[in-house]
Structure 1
Amino acid sequence: MKHRKIWQLLLTILLMGVMFAGCASAGTKTANNNGSASASQKTEETSGAVKKKAAVKKENGEKGTAMSDTNLKIKVVANGKEIVFALNDTSVSRSFYAQLPLTVDVENYSNNEKIFQPPKKLDCSKAQEGACPVGSIAYFSPWNNVCMYYGDMSRYPGLYVMGKAVSGVEQIRNITGKVKIEAVRQ
């Protein structure tokens, strides 16, 4: 007899819990009709805000430096051909640009890039490591190499993207020997 009363009491509590949950849900739906957001809508809005912040962080880099294009453009002249690169707004790009004009020896490295060494190490303090698609110019800080890519390169520790080719990208593969690098005055 005692067990039967205990089961009845538990069943009653369970049913009351279900009823209260249903009432709470109905109250939320009514509030939605009056213009307030449901919990799921608030979660979606919060999720969207988090995704937007992540996209901005990705675009701006870990240290908050904008990766957008600047008015800084350089010209690489090699074998009578020109490649023009638009540099992004990073400390590494600005420190490279400050060393121009340069005449350097370019070497082939691996099967996707041409490299050379600037006279001084570049400032990577406010720059973002990143992947380099075809036509990218980047700085590999461990070796003090500037890299021009004619094949894709994935993200790699110490590889800082400086910009992209806006003309002559097809010439990168053919660069050899001494090249002249200078600022493009606008």
Structure 2
Amino acid sequence: MRIVLTLDGHRAAATLNDSAAARDLAALLPLTIGLEDFHHTERIGYPPRKLDTTGAPDASDPKAGDLAYYTPWGNLVLFYRDGDHSPSLVVLGALDSREDTDRLATAQRLRIEAAS
């Protein structure tokens, strides 16, 4: 599914994969959340409820530009740098252009909408 991320007013195209968690996130759209930095690698924020992670892999190797979900905390994650192998991390999709990852490092607010 094609989506649009708006980071502090700047739009970036992204695509969700076909996982149960990504479909569950899509059901919440449009969604606006605040973001905070985590480990100088990612921005995190919390959706209004936990996502369905049925069939998700046990771990992921996130790349800059990935949109993911960390199951223990129930938070969305936007990686602006490549991350380490992470148990309980479910990649939901990614920015269509890795050039947009620079904006992720300082973003304070995220809006996710279905692309028209």
TM-score by length of 1: 0.58
CA distance in 1, matches of 2:18, 2:32: 23
CA distance in 1, matches of 2:95, 2:110: 16
CA shift for structure 1 position 78: 2.2
Match of 1:155 in 2: 85
Greater RCO, 1 or 2 (C-alpha within 8 Å, sep 6+) = 2
Kept in 1, the 8 Å contact 2:7–2:104? The answer is: no
Greater Cα radius of gyration, structure 1 or 2: 1
- Aligned letter for 1:132? P
Kept in 1, the 8 Å contact 2:2–2:13? The answer is: yes
Across the aligned residues of Structure 1 and Structure 2, the Cα RMSD in angstroms comes to 1.3
Match of 1:146 in 2: 76
Kept in 2, the 8 Å contact 1:114–1:172? The answer is: yes
The structure whose residues are more often helix, as a share, is: 1
Cα deviation digits, residues 144-169 of structure 1 (max 9, x gap): 01000001112211101111111323
Unaligned runs of 5+ in 1: 1-71
- Aligned letter for 2:113? E
The structure whose residues are more often strand, as a share, is: 2
Kept in 2, the 8 Å contact 1:140–1:147? The answer is: yes
Match of 1:121 in 2: 50
CA distance in 1, matches of 2:2, 2:103: 17
CA distance in 1, matches of 2:85, 2:75: 16
Q: Identical aligned pairs, as a percentage?
A: 32
SS of residue paired to 2:105: helix
Kept in 2, the 8 Å contact 1:112–1:150? The answer is: yes
> Size of the alignment, in residue pairs?
113
CA distance in 2, matches of 1:87, 1:179: 16
Kept in 2, the 8 Å contact 1:76–1:181? The answer is: yes
CA distance in 2, matches of 1:160, 1:78: 21
Unaligned runs of 5+ in 2: none
